[in-house]
Structure 1
Amino acid sequence: MGRGRSTTLDDLSGLPWPVPLVSGVIGYYAIRHGVPAWMANRGGTFGQAFASHGDALAPLAWMVLAFCMLAALVSFFRSRHRRRLLDTRAGLDSIAALGWRDFERLVGEAYRRQGYSVEETGLGGADGGIDLILTRDGQRTLVQCKRWRRDKVTVNVVREMYGLLAHHGAHQVRIATVGGFTRDAAYFAAGKPIELIDGQALLAMVREVQDEARSDRPAPTRTPASRIAPVVDTAAPAIAAIPDCPRCGSGMVRRTNPRADTTFWGCTSFPRCRGTR
Structure 2
Amino acid sequence: MARKKSSPVEDLVIVISKLPWWIGVALALVSYVVLHSMASRPMLPTAATPGQMGDAAVRSITTTLAMFGQYVLPFAFGLGAVLSAVAAARQKKLYDTTASRPGVGALNDMSWQEFEMLVSEHYRRKGFQVIREGGNGPDGGIDLVLRQKDEIYLVQCKQWKAYKVGVQPVREFYGVMASRGAAGGYFVTSGEYTADAKSFAQGCNVELIDGQKLRLMINAARTKSAIAPQSITPPQAASTPACPKCGKEMVRRVARQGSNAGKEFWGCSSFPKCKAVFPLEGTH
Q: Same fold (TM over 0.5)?
A: yes
Report 1:1-277 matches (<5 A). 7-32=11-36, 34-37=37-40, 39-40=41-42, 44-45=45-46, 60-89=69-98, 90-91=101-102, 92-215=104-227
Cα shift readout 1:35-92 (whole Å, capped 9, x = no counterpart):
254x33x8634899x99xx999665433333323211211110111111111110231
- Cα distance in 2 for partners of 1:187, 1:104 equals 25
Is the CA contact 2:25–2:77 (under 8 Å) kept in the aligned structure 1?
A: yes
- Cα distance in 2 for partners of 1:170, 1:207 equals 28
Cα shift readout 1:191-224 (whole Å, capped 9, x = no counterpart):
432211111210121122323444478xxxxxxx
Alignment root-mean-square deviation, CA: 3.3
Mark the CA change 1:150 to 1:18 in structure 2 (over 3 Å): closer, same or farther: closer
Unaligned 5+ runs, structure 1: 218-277
- Cα distance in 1 for partners of 2:79, 2:178 equals 37
Is the CA contact 2:19–2:132 (under 8 Å) kept in the aligned structure 1?
A: no
Q: Which moved more, 1:100-109 or 1:19-28?
A: 19-28
- Cα distance in 2 for partners of 1:14, 1:98 equals 20
TM-score by length of 2: 0.63
1:142, CA displacement in angstroms?
2.2
Q: Which moved more, 1:127-136 or 1:22-31?
A: 22-31
- Cα distance in 2 for partners of 1:56, 1:172 equals 43
Unaligned 5+ runs, structure 2: 48-54, 230-284
Is the CA contact 1:86–1:210 (under 8 Å) kept in the aligned structure 2?
A: no
Query: Helix, strand or coil for the counterpart of 1:201?
Result: helix
Is the CA contact 1:20–1:72 (under 8 Å) kept in the aligned structure 2?
A: yes
1:7, CA displacement in angstroms?
2.0
Query: Helix, strand or coil for the counterpart of 1:163?
Result: helix
Q: Percent identity?
A: 31
- Cα distance in 1 for partners of 2:197, 2:114 equals 25
- Cα distance in 1 for partners of 2:143, 2:112 equals 11
Q: Which moved more, 1:58-67 or 1:170-179?
A: 58-67
Cα shift readout 1:103-149 (whole Å, capped 9, x = no counterpart):
11111110111111222223332122322222224332222211122
Which structure is larger by alpha-carbon Rg, 1 or 2? 2
Cα shift readout 1:214-252 (whole Å, capped 9, x = no counterpart):
4478xxxxxxxxxxxxxxxxxxxxxxxxxxxxxxxxxxx
Query: Helix, strand or coil for the counterpart of 1:144?
Result: strand
- Cα distance in 2 for partners of 1:45, 1:12 equals 41
Mark the CA change 1:45 to 1:155 in structure 2 (over 3 Å): closer, same or farther: same
